[in-house]
Amino acid sequence: MTDRTLMIIKPDAVSHNHVGEILKRVEENGFKIVELQMMKLTRAQAAEFYAIHKGKPFYGGLMDFMTSGPTIPLVLEKANAVALLREVVGATNPTVAEEGSIRKAFGTSVQRNAVHASDSPENAAIEVAFFFGNAAQN
């Protein structure tokens, strides 16, 4: 199976109508969209998804933001998908993200940075299963 990674189009990008442009960039970079849904996260879901950041100063604000409106989790397939998507997405802080990256184009703050991308193959498998179940890994 080709490598898979999880992306989330975050509430800021959905509310600002950047979904089409973000999906276009994903496809133009050679990723195959193999799963996609729109959903508003509950606080419990956001807390579980970002559990690794619990206790950090930005955690409460991140929960508020991630539950503020619909998100679009999607599963992307490509050789070396995890590392390549992190490159296409860019640095966490949009102001220092690389020119041409999705966060540079659509992020407006370190919190409201338009998209999530899994940071390792191990976390990608966990995050894909979180939204789409184990069937999405077959």
Residues 40-59, mask of contacts with Mg ion (x by CB under 5 A): --------------------
CB of 119 to Mg ion, least distance (A): 5
Stretch of 1-9, 18-26, 37-45, 53-61 lying at the interface with ligand UDP (CB under 6 A): 53-61
> Would you give the end-to-end CA distance of the chain in angstroms?
8
Rounded Cα–Cα distance for residues 16 and 18 (Å): 6
Taking CB under 6 A as the rule, does residue 129 contact ligand UDP? no
Whole-number Å distance between alpha carbons of 121 and 123: 6
CA distance 98 to 138: 33
Query: Segment 57-86, which members bind ligand UDP (CB under 6 A)?
Result: 58, 61-62
